[in-house]
Amino acid sequence: MELVDDHLAAGGALISLWEDLNKDGHPVPIWFDWPQIEGDASEMTYYQLCVIAGMAQSPSYAAAILDGNEDAVAARLERQKIIDKDDAPTITFLVDEQALYRQVGTAETMREQLEHLLMLSERSNVTVQVVLSSGEHGGNGSSFVIATMADRSQVAYVETAIRGLTTDDPADLAAAARVLADLRNRTLPGNMSRDLIRKVAEERWT
Confidence of residue 161 (pLDDT cuts 50, 70, 90): confident
* Secondary structure letter of residue 11 according to DSSP: T
CATH assignment of 31-203? Answer: 3.30.870
- 164 has which bridge partners? 159
Confidence of residue 163 (pLDDT cuts 50, 70, 90): confident
Please write the tens of the pLDDT for every residue from 82-141.
Answer: 999 999 999 999 999 999 999 999 999 999 999 999 999 999 999 999 999 876 767 777
Domain boundaries, the chain: 31-203
Residue type, 98: Q
Please write the tens of the pLDDT for every residue from 38-90.
Answer: 999 999 999 998 999 999 999 999 999 999 999 999 999 999 999 999 999 99
Q: What is the pLDDT of residue 20?
A: 64
Is 25 a residue whose pLDDT tops 70?
Answer: no
- Top-confidence residue, 37 or 26: 37
Whether 72 contacts 66, CB under 8 Å: yes
Q: What is the pLDDT of residue 1?
A: 73
Confidence of residue 18 (pLDDT cuts 50, 70, 90): low
Is 28 a residue whose pLDDT tops 60?
Answer: no
Q: What is the pLDDT of residue 31?
A: 57
The enclosing H or E element of 62 equals helix 59-65
- 90 has which bridge partners? 43
Contacts of 10 (CB under 8 A, 6+ apart): 4
Contacts of 206 (CB under 8 A, 6+ apart): 107, 111
Q: What is the DSSP string of 114-156?
A: HHHHHHHHTSTTEEEEEE--SS--GGGS--EEEEE-TTS-EEE
Q: What is the pLDDT of residue 24?
A: 55
